[in-house]
A and B are shown apart, each in its own frame.
Chain A
Amino acid sequence: DIQMTQSPSTLSASVGDRVTITCRASQSISSWLAWYQQKPGKAPNLLIFDASSLESGVPSRFSGSGSGTDFTLTISSLQPDDFATYYCQQYNSHPYTFGQGTKLEIK
């Protein structure tokens, strides 16, 4: 199975900050990576697919980059609604695995 490792596990930041979350795959997954946002008690919401494609309706302050084994999710200017947990997910090969999550907290 492909292991997905996110860092950091917790990130404290302020409104207006630029933040970056990293996701590393245990082997190359080309660009077959998605990012999701999850708020407490809610289902995950798709933000980015194919490593860098923004899902329709997602604010442009979210962006993704990377290929192979190293990927990043960047939020250019944090808004109050962005404090949540973020997950990466690979779909290069079965089984489709998720990172352990990065909790973005208010500083």
Chain B
Amino acid sequence: QVQLVESGGGLVKPGGSLRLSCAASGFTFSDYYMSWIRQAPGKGLEWVSHISGSAFHTSYADSMKGRFTISRDNAKNSLYLQMSTLRAEDTAVYYCARLPYCSGGWCPCYFDYWGQGTLVTVSS
């Protein structure tokens, strides 16, 4: 069965950096777009970034552009989010999620499987 397991969250000071990982299993990882979505404590969901199966295409929410970098290692079935210049408002649970399979062209960007999330706290 599809499993997504995030790791790497923790407490970091404002201005600091953190790298999140997501280990995928149960499907052919390289065939799927993957995404990061976050949820601040007690708040709603916010899409962060996504990456194509080949890693050729990436996209970011404007507030993360230039500070966050999404990447993947298909040989390791792993997704990453490198976060830098972190701010208090980046405090959230970060979820790794899979987009449904698409064979090319326009791919629908909803999320059919989610990990359990990893908490990032930005505080001095």
- Report which A residues bind B (CB closer than 8 A): 32, 34, 36, 42-46, 49-50, 55, 87, 89, 91, 94-101
Contact = CB atoms under 8 A, between A and B. Distances in A.
Given A49-B100, A50-B108, A91-B109, A43 B117 contact: yes
Interface in B39-79: 44-47, 59, 61-62
Interface in B72-111: 95, 100, 108-111
A46 B47 contact: no
Among A95, A100, A101, chain B packs the most CB atoms within 10 A around the CB of: A95
Given A43-B115, A43-B117, A95 B95 contact: no
Contacts of A101: 44-45
Interface residues of B, number: 19
Given A43-B95, A45-B114, A87 B108 contact: no
Nearest to B35: A96
B44 A99 contact: yes
A98 B46 contact: yes
Contact of B47 (A42, A43, A49, A98): A98
Given A46-B113, A50-B108, A91-B109, 13 more contacts: A36-B45, A42-B116, A44-B111, A44-B114, A46-B112, A55-B112, A91-B108, A91-B110, A95-B61, A95-B62, A98-B45, A98-B46, A100-B44
A46 B45 CA distance: 13
A46 B44 contact: no
B114 A98 contact: no
B62 A46 contact: no
A97 B114 CA distance: 17
B63 to A, nearest CB: 9
B44 A87 contact: yes
A44 B111 CA distance: 9
